Amino acid sequence: MTTFNFNLNRRAFIGAGTLGAAASVFGTASSASAAEARQNAAPQAQGTLPGAASTAAHNFIRRQEFFIAHRGAGDVNPEHTAYAYAESVRRGAEAVEISVRTTSDGRLVCMHDETLQRTTGSNMVVRHNTYVRLRSVYVNMRETLGEGAPLELIPTLDEALDSIDVINRNTILFIEAKDGQGQRLLLETIKRRNLAARTVVKVYRDGNGKYDPNSRFLTQAKAAGCQTWCYFDANDSQPGIQRMAASATVDAIGVPFYENTRGTASGTMSVENVRKVVGYGKPVIVWEIHRRSVHQRFRALGVRGFMCPDPYWITGGNLDPNLKLGEGRRLHGMIPAEVTNPRDMPDYSRGALVHSQPHDESVLLGPLVSMTTRQNYTLDFSMRWENRLPSTTWQYGYLVFGREHDGPFGIASKFRGEATDGCYVLTLRPGGRVRDENGKYLSGDIAQVLRYDPAKRGKEPVVLHTMKLEKPLAANRNIDGKIIVKKDFFYYVINGQYSPRLNDTAHRGPYVHFGRYHGNSNGGPLALTRMVARESWA
């Protein structure tokens, strides 16, 4: 079976490719907001297929392309909270995903997991506790979203729906009941609130873990007037999926995608099987899509629906190129190399974006694309090592710029080894020992620009420039810098010390990453305390 390699032409929309020893596989935002344009367009003018029925949910999933806020846009909001649902709709989401479970006293509450451990830190099991007891803890996603993220109560389904309707009563609802009692209560709620016309009932296989298109719950959901979306695991029976897709009780099919630092992770449906599912004729929805390049890859396969933890980023919403790191919040398009494990994600704390992971990692600074898509721009930044500098001569902190796509980026072997895209890497090396562009060794505090080129697998990057810094680098002291990019050249400034003009135009992609090439055993946390992109004079 073939797995995804994400080799896409950025000029078709956004980029794709893989970066050599420094990257993995996995765009551009225009000055006008694609998300706002989509929101303002008339519903029937957005690619609705012929023959659509009159319900809003029916029409929505038969568009040529549509997006759903996964868990209420969980990449930027505390997931499955009333706040998350409302914020995602306020930011332009036309559809939201809601997961519900039943409490011991028969209330539907919004929660994906069986226990509260991941989202609240409590080991309570939803079905073993009353609604009042569950309200004694807060959803706390600050580990992944930043210390500025709000603490929110676990809402009932009714509270969640009310929060959405205050913003937009036409929002399409993708709702999944995670237990059998919840399925019954969900249908009762849909009937009581008259929601069928805007609801897509989400179901794992047939609702009982099997492939019976005439299962009781599917039949009841259709009888209630809802649309249905049945989702499947990567290696599920293709004849079983085809049988489900052929039934009038099934309106859409779901296929999984999971990523890691090497690109496609275990649990992702193969390309061949995705094509088969698309060929069964029902709208296909993929979950979960964090990156623009992944969206484009599945779109090329004929997938029409995209379950996104940050739909505003995927659809090209307007972004502020001032990261405002002091606010302690993960912003739209700020995507870590590892999207699932909090241990491998940066902290948004202490007025900075802080790399303090056990191993080297990086984070995509997506909001900068509103300026880095321009011909002339400047990256204005400050960073510092906290407590101690790297203890080796070969490890460093870095900024990547000019990259063609938004996939995971890193230096070490945990990242994909081949290269089909390129970029520049500005490295800062306290106490470093490096070979410069002329092949001579230099020692001391050093700034160096490396160029990674496409299709040079296993080869060292090109050294473009090496600068021994006049002002010594020190722990707990800011390093102030600029990268000035022009059409035909670029140069950089570190603590007031200027590089010469570098007449190199190989890479002018829009994506910027911040990272460190060392773990905690070799140096202290690396904090990005300021990052602003602005247009430069020609």
pTM exceeding 0.75: yes
* Closest to 415 in 3D by CA, of 441, 374, 452: 452
Cα–Cα distance list, 478 to 398, 399, 513 (Å) = 14, 15, 19
Euclidean distance between the first and the last CA atom of the chain, given in angstroms as a whole number? 49
Cα 128 to Cα 133: distance, rounded to the nearest angstrom: 10
Amino acid identity for residue 498 in this structure: Y
pLDDT in tens, 39-69: 343 333 333 444 345 799 999 999 999 999 9
Pairing of strands 334-336, 259-260: unpaired
Q: Which helix (H) or strand (E) holds 209?
A: none
Confidence at residue 98, expressed as pLDDT on a 0 to 100 scale = 98
Q: In the chain, which residues have pLDDT < 70?
A: 1-53, 413-420, 455-458, 538
Domains assigned to the chain: 56-315 (3.20.20.190), 322-535 (2.60.120.560)
Q: Tell me how far apart the alpha carbons of residues 57 and 129 are, in angstroms, rounded to a whole number.
A: 33
What confidence tens digit (pLDDT) does each residue in 369-426 have?
999 999 999 999 999 999 999 999 999 999 999 998 898 888 876 665 445 678 999 9
With beta carbons less than 8 A apart as the criterion, state whether 202 and 225 touch: no
Cα dihedral angle (81, 125, 203, 315), rounded to 10 degrees? 30
Cβ atoms of residues 118 and 141 within 8 Å: no
Helices assigned H by DSSP within 398-492? none
Q: Which two tokens stand for residue 58?
A: 């029916």
Listed residue (313, 63, 265, 80) closest to 178, CA to CA: 80
Sign of CA dihedral 197, 203, 208, 211: positive
Cis peptide before 259 (omega within 30 of 0): no
Query: For the purposes of burial, counting CB atoms within 10 Å of the CB of 297, is it exposed (0-12), middle (13-18) or buried (19 or more)?
Result: buried
Distance CA 363, CA 339 (A): 10
The closest alpha carbon to 26, from 421, 340, 370, 372, belongs to: 421
**Contact at 8 Å (CB) between 370 and 510?**
no
Tokens of 387: 């407590």
Would you say how long the chain is, in residues? Answer: 538
Q: How far apart are CA 490 and CA 513, in angstroms?
A: 17
Please give the single-letter amino acid code of residue 413. Answer: S
